[in-house]
Structures are given as structure tokens and as C-alpha cells.
Amino acid sequence: MAAERLARQEHIGEGAGLWQFAHGRGMTRRRFLHLLSAGGATAVLASCTGLPLPTAAPTGAEEIRTEAPLYYKDPAPFIDHGSGNLEARLENMEGLITPSRHFFVRNNSASLDVDSADWRLAIEGDAVANPLSLAYDDILDMPSRTFVSYLECAGNHRSMFDLVKGQAAEGTQWGTGAVSNGRWTGTALHDVLVRAGITDGAVSVLLVGLDSGSPEEGFRRVMPVEKAMDKDTLLAYSLNGEPLPKDHGFPLRALAPGWVGAASIKWLGRIVVSTKQLWTRNNTTSYTLIGDAYPPEGESLGKPVAVQTIKSALALPRPADLAGGEQRIHGFAQSPAGPVEKVEWSDDFGATWNGATVIEPSEGDSRYSWARFEFMWDARPGEYTIMTRATDAAGNSQPDEIPFNEKGYLFNQPVPHPIRVA
């Protein structure tokens, strides 16, 4: 009720022009109030994106800020791909933990500004016996867990399909920086589902965010009940010892370690637990491997993307300019299947491989964290290409080749990194 009262007050006051603007683009009053209470003017304007412009400006429209901010952090340290997508520059990262100010951003609309006092998390569906509506303090009062985990977009390294294989894929042309490593605190999704009385018949768990900007209202992702009930699947409210930044899902987001970032829903607002396999845009036509090597599964056009792949990359600009002489070069490697055990490098296109030193993480942080590696390289004047490849404790290594898929997900061949030595 507090949220609705706030929305109505906004409508009566400065929000009146905003309502007229949104209504002129076909938005219903119910949708307007929901978005305004959940994310303010930013969420309303973001939801208007892609809708037809009114033929005449509504009364008061000159007072409206027609370009909503896509994010709240300073974009200067990033590669800005537009549409709210900020790629981290690995060369800015020296330590194991990515500072929040350098943490990459992948949005499907604008970042939201959610008031935790009015926020609620609904847990519902035909596979829970006790549907819940939890407040922020309810989540904070539950038992917490803290661990280090990397978070990586399914499309990280996507541009390499074009640069390495000569076949461009759809989507944001990420380089190697759609990944970061953070220390997360939250409560286990398992505990919330048990509190809601999850039944033995549960099959799918659907996580729905408060954001919009896609054909479905609220970005959403389905995960099997086994992943949802894994005690390391978090409802996270803290990143690096501080409340989640607005760009990263405040007040609450999911964190699904080892899975693609799309499963770690930001600005989480609803969880639906079902006795049936659920299908949405994000496991049928998007976040799906579509190509000759991927036969369709269920209602999907291909193979839905879930678990990430093992990768490595140098922490250097692209291309890198180095001075001659002995150079200490570092980078990062990550795997969903456990700690990275070995990293190798080659400066002759893979004819020979040399061992790098894996120097972090510590044993206690190793399961989900990325690893930092380094090696010494005798840089002589000229132009070079250095590649790296990682192997994890389970024996998984980066492959020499992977099949193309239309959306450009999960590229993990060794990445050639151009270097110029003066």
C-alpha cells in the first residue's frame, strides 16, 4: 500500500506529466503505477523504449527528462557498448577481487533505483505450500553466507567469433571484460524455498526481476529445482562488504555460481515455483545455442545456455603497447567446474606452450573465484600475439575450436592478444 500511495502522489505532482507521456505511448495505468513504485521515473521511461512516439507532446512533457540514465556508476573506466552495457577493462584489475566501481554492467534496460522500504519479494506457484511476501528486513534476518564468486555474461568473448573465426555473431560485441569477481553475501535461495514450503513435485524455479525493456515484463530466467536448491545459489544483498550498488541489483539479486550471468537476476521481485518445465524467451529464443551443432531441446530453438565455460584472458589493453625487456604479464582465468589449476601461454600461435604461475586465489576462496596468473616475457621490438589457455582441477581445458552459434555465447577458444613492443 505504501508503494501505491507513493505512486499516486507522484502522479498527482511532478509525475502527472510523466503519466501523460507514458499513457501517450500506450502504457496502462496499472503498469505505470507498478513501474513507478518499483523503479521510479527511470523504470517508466525505460519501459517506454521502443514504443511509438506520440504525434503531439502531452501537456507538461517539456518538463520530462526523456533520456533515462542507463546506469549510476561512472562509465569512464569501462568500454561503453551502449544500452547500459559497460565492459570491464581487465588491465585495471590488479588484485583478486574486482572493486565495485570496476565491476562490469550488463543491463536489459536501465538500472533501477528501488526503495528497499517498499520492496517485496513474492514466492508463489503451484509447487509451494506457503506462498510468501518477504520484506528486505525479512531477508536480512535469515541465515547468511559469504563467498567469492566470479560473475560472467554468457556473451563474454563474443567478438572473438568474428575476430578469430571470421563469423560475426548477434549481440553486444563483448571483448574479454564481461566478467568480474566479487565477494558476495546473501541468504541461500534454498532456505527461502523451504520457508515457502516447496513441494516434492517442484520442477522449475522462475526468477523475475523488476526491470523491463524486453518482450516479457521483467527480465526472467528459469532454473531447474536442483540448481535452485543448491545451497550456494544465493539471494545476494551485498557485494564486497557493501549493500548491492543500484547497477548490480539493489536491494536483492540472485547469484548462481558457475552459471551464465543471465541466471543471476537483478532487482529480484518474484519467484515462481512450478511443477512443470517452464519456458520463456530466455531459454527458447535467447540465451540458447542456435546452430548446426545444437539440436533443439524442448520448446527451445537450440540448447539453452546454463553452465559457463572455462576461459582465460590477459589483463592488457587490446592491442597492448609494451616497452622492450623483461615484462611481468598477468591475467585472469575462471571455470565453473572448480578452481583453475594450470594456465599456459604461447607467443607462437600455439606451436609451443609455456607454464604461467597461478598465484591466487587462496584455498578458502578457490571454488567459485577466478584465478590470477602471471608470467615473465622477454619483450623484443616487433609485433606479437600471445594466447593463454586454462585447465581446471577437474581436467577441463580450453578447446582449440568451438562450433559457431548465432547468438555468440560461450566462446572459449584461446584468445589471441595482439602486442606491440617498441
Q: Are residues 205 and 262 in the same domain?
A: yes
Q: How far is the C-alpha of 288 from the C-alpha of 161, rounded, in Å?
A: 16
Q: Are residues 242 and 145 in the same domain?
A: yes
Angle subtended by helix axes 15-24 and 29-48, to nearest 10:
80
Q: Are residues 323 and 385 in the same domain?
A: yes
CA torsion angle 49 51 54 55 (round to 10): 120
CATH number of the structural domain spanning residue 341: 2.60.40.650
Burial label, 242 (beta-carbon count in 10 A; 0-12, 13-18, 19+): exposed
Q: How many CB atoms lie within 10 A of CB 137?
A: 9
The reported pLDDT for the residue numbered 2 is 33
Query: Left, alpha or beta for 26 (phi > 0: left; psi -120 to 50: alpha)?
Result: left
Q: Are residues 218 and 118 in the same domain?
A: yes
Q: How many CB atoms lie within 10 A of CB 22?
A: 25
pLDDT digits (tens, 9 = 90+) for 9-47: 333 233 345 555 565 555 555 455 545 544 455 455 545
Beta strand spans in 84-241 (E)? 86-87, 120-124, 132-135, 145-152, 179-188, 204-209, 220-224, 234-239
Residue 223: which of 213, 210, 212, 232 has the closest Cα? 232
DSSP character string of 136-156? HHHHHTS--EEEEEEEE-TTT
69 within a domain of the structure (yes/no): no
CATH number of the structural domain spanning residue 242: 3.90.420.10
| Global confidence as pTM | 0.83
The C-alpha cell of 128 is what? Answer: 509451494
The reported pLDDT for the residue numbered 26 is 55
74 within a domain of the structure (yes/no): no
The reported pLDDT for the residue numbered 3 is 36
The reported pLDDT for the residue numbered 363 is 66
Domain count, the chain: 3
What is the chain's mean pLDDT, rounded?
A: 87
Domain C-terminal end among 34, 63, 92 = 63
In angstroms, how far is the first alpha carbon of the chain from the final one? 66
pLDDT at 152 over 70: yes
Q: Are residues 210 and 343 in the same domain?
A: no
Domain C-terminal end among 304, 331, 355 = 304
Domain extent, residue 326, equals: 311-421
Q: Are residues 141 and 96 in the same domain?
A: yes
Residue 49: which of 285, 265, 212, 247 has the closest Cα? 212
29 within a domain of the structure (yes/no): yes
225 within a domain of the structure (yes/no): yes
Q: How far is the C-alpha of 172 from the C-alpha of 81, rounded, in Å?
A: 7
What is the average per-residue pLDDT within 227-235?
98
Q: 94: pLDDT confidence band, cut at 50, 70 and 90?
A: confident
Residue 182: which of 121, 234, 128 has the closest Cα? 234
Q: How far is the C-alpha of 411 from the C-alpha of 31, rounded, in Å?
A: 38
The reported pLDDT for the residue numbered 59 is 29
Query: Left, alpha or beta for 14 (phi > 0: left; psi -120 to 50: alpha)?
Result: alpha
Q: 338: pLDDT confidence band, cut at 50, 70 and 90?
A: confident
Identify the bridge partners of residue 181 per DSSP, sorted by sequence position.
150
Q: How far is the C-alpha of 107 from the C-alpha of 191, rounded, in Å?
A: 28
The C-alpha cell of 333 is what? Answer: 582465468
The reported pLDDT for the residue numbered 212 is 77
pLDDT at 64 over 80: no
Q: Please tell me what DSSP assigns to residue 53.
A: P
94 within a domain of the structure (yes/no): yes
Q: How far is the C-alpha of 264 from the C-alpha of 235, rounded, in Å?
A: 9
The reported pLDDT for the residue numbered 32 is 52
72 within a domain of the structure (yes/no): no
Q: How far is the C-alpha of 312 from the C-alpha of 96, rounded, in Å?
A: 14
219 within a domain of the structure (yes/no): yes
Q: Give the three-state DSSP class for 52.
A: coil
